[in-house]
């Protein structure tokens, strides 16, 4: 099936920043495939956005499961024939919360769990959907990172994040940023651009109610990077149009 509108896939689209990203992309006249770990959750999300007049399609995609990744790619290929935008939004936080400073006490299990979702699954999802993105005239990949992945800022004792040291989470986002840099370089000369997005400290389950930013603003960076033109950034770490240090 052909579709003249751009087609975007948002992982973890059933709540928080993912849901709002899907909403804002839909409001930009884009067909949005909303992915969630269960088809029920994805369908409920799609129904909610369809009620707002948006063009939305649900798909089951637990990013940690190979069978879900391949099935979702086949579904999108069969229905749309290509993918224009991939928002790697799904991710998890530290098991003790974002402000529980912990380094050497970090367990192997927590490292494996956070890297499994925040890095390995992102790489696997991207690998699965890259053939469809290569069929787009303007492929865009947005990896949801965090300012807590910035090695430069963590190493600066005067930076605003200097006192927030949650090793497993921070390191998983640093590694995700490395993936952004490497993939952008590998795809240079193609129509695909790859960037990392820092959404900000947002009032979500992960960010808690103490965060200063509303969800509607937390989605803006991802949407902006999804819609950049041929002269837009590539292989960069961005928050609200400004570049962050790696």
| C-alpha count within 13 angstroms, C-beta hemisphere, residue 189 | 2
Residue ranges with strand state E in the chain? 7-10, 31-36, 56-60, 85-88, 140-144, 193-197, 237-239, 242-243
Is 5 catalytic? The answer is no
Exactly one of 5, 135, 173, 203 is catalytic; which is it? 173
Of 119, 72, 89, 86, nearest to 192 by C-alpha is 86
Whether residue 63 contacts residue 90, with contact meaning beta carbons closer than 8 Å, is answered with yes
Is 173 catalytic? The answer is yes
Exactly one of 6, 169, 193, 220 is catalytic; which is it? 169
Task: Count the neighbouring beta carbons within 10 Å of the beta carbon of residue 160.
Answer: 10
Whole-angstrom Cα distance, residue 72 to residue 152? 37
Length of the chain: 246
Whether residue 87 contacts residue 10, with contact meaning beta carbons closer than 8 Å, is answered with yes
Catalytic residues: 169, 173
């Amino acid at each position: 099936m052909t579709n003249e509108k751009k087609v975007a896939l948002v992982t973890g689209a059933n709540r928080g920043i993912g849901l709002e990203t899907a909403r804002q992309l839909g409001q930009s006249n884009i067909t949005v495939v909303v992915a969630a770990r269960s088809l029920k959750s994805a369908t409920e999300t799609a129904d909610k956005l369809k009620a707002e007049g948006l063009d939305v399609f649900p798909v089951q995609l637990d990013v940690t499961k190979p069978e879900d990744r391949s099935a979702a790619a086949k579904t999108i290929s069969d229905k749309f024939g290509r993918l224009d935008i991939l928002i790697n939004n799904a991710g998890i936080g530290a098991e003790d919360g974002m402000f529980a400073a912990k380094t050497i006490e970090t367990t192997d299990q927590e490292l494996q769990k956070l890297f499994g979702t925040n890095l390995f699954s992102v790489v696997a999802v991207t690998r699965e959907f890259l053939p469809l993105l290569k069929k787009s005239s303007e492929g865009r990949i947005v990896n949801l990172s965090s300012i807590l992945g910035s090695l430069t800022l963590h190493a600066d004792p005067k930076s605003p994040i200097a006192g927030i040291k949650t090793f497993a989470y921070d390191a998983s986002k640093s590694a995700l940023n490395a993936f952004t840099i490497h993939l952008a370089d590998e795809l240079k000369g193609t129509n695909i651009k790859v960037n990392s997005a820092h959404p900000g400290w947002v009032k979500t389950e992960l960010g808690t109610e103490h965060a200063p930013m509303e969800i509607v603003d937390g989605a803006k960076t991802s949407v902006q990077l999804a819609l950049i033109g041929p002269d837009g950034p590539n292989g960069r770490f961005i928050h609200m149009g400004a570049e962050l240090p790696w």
